[in-house]
Amino acid sequence: MEEIESTTGERTGEDEDQKTSNILLMSSKPLHRFVQKQPRTLGIVVLMFGCAEVMMGFVLAFDSSDYPPNSFKLYVPLWQGILFFTCGVLSIYTELHPSKKMVTTCLALYVVSMLGIIVSFGIRISIIMHYSFVRNWRGRNGYDVQVACVEYILFGSSLCVFAFLIFLSTIARLALKSTKTQHVIVQHIVMRPQSEATAN
């Protein structure tokens, strides 16, 4: 009876040690450190910015004339909104199902989206400069003011998303970098005394 109780007590102690080591191992894994930064929350924000980009782009799409210019002539709100939407969905999915492959995919899309934002910055700055020139020299027009306001709002939202994507790409890169360097395997082997092995 005493032997059974002591064996049970030893097993319980070993189980608790194993649970503790598993918790420490899970918290030190790079992908779990990526998940701890909550990319899902930022992914939801980026997704909402993508939907807003597409919807505000429709305001610019209804103008059929070539003048005054706006960013929808090059479909900037459409492709940039789709990029933001995809980044958001992938960030949400990666937090729910973390894997090295998904983090790599997210990182690639973050970089592509940041390059797209840089291109859209150039386009929108030239459009905003044009509208500031028109306002100063030709007087105010209601449509010019509306388009300029939409371009300003889209420029500001792209700037916010750019900051979020820099943060997400940094933590994704750190997670992928540390998976290459972290290969520590600890294995405990419990040996039975030889007298018990021969008795059985």
Alpha-carbon distance of 189 to 195, in angstroms, equals: 18
pLDDT of residue 143: 66
Alpha-carbon distance of 124 to 128, in angstroms, equals: 6
Q: Is 173 exposed, middle or buried (0-12, 13-18, 19+ CB in 10 A)?
A: middle
pLDDT of residue 26: 46
Find where tokens 């007087």 sit: 139
User: Does residue 39 have a cis peptide bond before it, meaning omega lies within 30 degrees of 0?
Assistant: no
* DSSP 3-state of 116: helix
Q: Letter for the amino acid at 39?
A: P
Q: Is the dihedral of CA 153, 156, 157, 158 positive or negative?
A: positive
Q: Is the dihedral of CA 179, 184, 189, 190 positive or negative?
A: negative
Per-residue pLDDT of the chain (200 residues; tens, 9 = 90+): 444 444 444 445 455 545 544 443 444 466 667 777 788 889 999 999 999 988 888 877 776 555 566 777 778 888 999 999 999 999 999 888 888 888 889 999 999 999 999 999 988 888 778 777 655 545 555 666 777 788 888 899 999 999 999 999 998 888 887 655 444 555 667 777 776 556 55
Q: Letter for the amino acid at 185?
A: I
pLDDT of residue 15: 54
